[in-house]
Structure 1
Amino acid sequence: MEIYEGSLEVEKITNAWYNEFKDKNCGAFITFVGIVREEGGISALSFDIYEPILAKWLKSWEERAAKENAYVLFAHSKGDVAVHTSSYVAGVVSPQRKVALKLINEFVEDFKANAPIWKYDVIDGKRIYAKERSQAIKGAGLLA
């Protein structure tokens, strides 16, 4: 798990991952890069992360990928990320492309639904919780 302050240096991150795994006899390295879109008057998105739960979430994915001789890789921003820059990079390395293609899709979708990362719009210098574009994390809420 790689957490960075501000926008991600995508090329540096993905090149490091490539160099780490290129000699491990894997035939596929697939990445997904999330780019902050300019919409709704935002100048940036801002992120808060609860790292202990995120580490647990990622560990379960690493174990799942290992059962298919694959690896999942993950980098995310905390704090402000300007429009047209990246806040999220995910990767899957696998001996076979079909496994990598399947896992990257499932990994990114599960991230959107279950990773403990809270998103805010930055408009006119103010952080505004992006409630309409957020999902409740499974199991979150008030205890009875």
Structure 2
Amino acid sequence: MITTRTQPQPFDTAAETAALTAGRTDIGAVVTFTGHVRAENGLEALTLEHYPAMTDRQMATIAAEAEARWPLLAGTVIHRHGRLLTGEAIVFVAVASAHRQAAFEAAEFLMDWLKTRAPFWKHDGSDWVAAKASDDDAAARWGGR
């Protein structure tokens, strides 16, 4: 089962990965991804807003879709909100499976769909950040909605 959560505070990727695999002997592969706020075009901070009930529901839906597509044994998805400085971690995805291919593909899928389907609104201090066509293109390869 993939657990999902949103939070304003930083997360510890090592602790999250250790918790995911603790006591498990059936896991053959764990793939993790940590996204960071990039210092791009003078950006110093990014503020993420969301409606918790809507965001939590959509993140759970995305996780359930990954579970339906791949033979996953466990997973964790954390997305931060609030004001984040450049260099700070913004999202964490960890996926465990018996085999690496399922874990790699599921992690990519989760990130692609989080970028395009999770309802977060980003503000760079002067303007709302628009969605990127390249994110939509990446998500389109998975089909679906």
Q: Do both proteins adopt the same fold according to a TM-score greater than 0.5, normalized to the shorter chain?
A: yes
Secondary structure of the residue aligned to 1:129 is coil
Q: Sequence identity, in percent? A: 21
Q: Which residue of 2 aligns with 1:113?
A: 116
Counterpart amino acid of residue 50 in structure 1 = Y
- Return the alpha-carbon distance in structure 2 between the equivalents of residues 28 and 57 of structure 1: 26
The equivalent of 2:79 in structure 1 is 76
Which residue does 1:16 correspond to in 2?
19
C-alpha contact 1:77 1:87 (8 A) present in aligned 2: yes
Structure whose CA Rg is larger = 1
In structure 1, stretches of 5+ residues that fail to align are: 137-144
Which among 98, 103, 106 is matched to residue 106 of structure 2? 103
Give secondary structure in 1 for the equivalent of 2:81: strand
The Cα RMSD (Å) is 2.5
Corresponding position of 1:53? 54
User: Which structure's residues are more often strand, by fraction?
Assistant: 1
Distance 2:21 2:39 in 1: 30
Q: 1:109 to 1:85 in 2, by over 3 A?
A: same
Matched residue pairs, number?
130
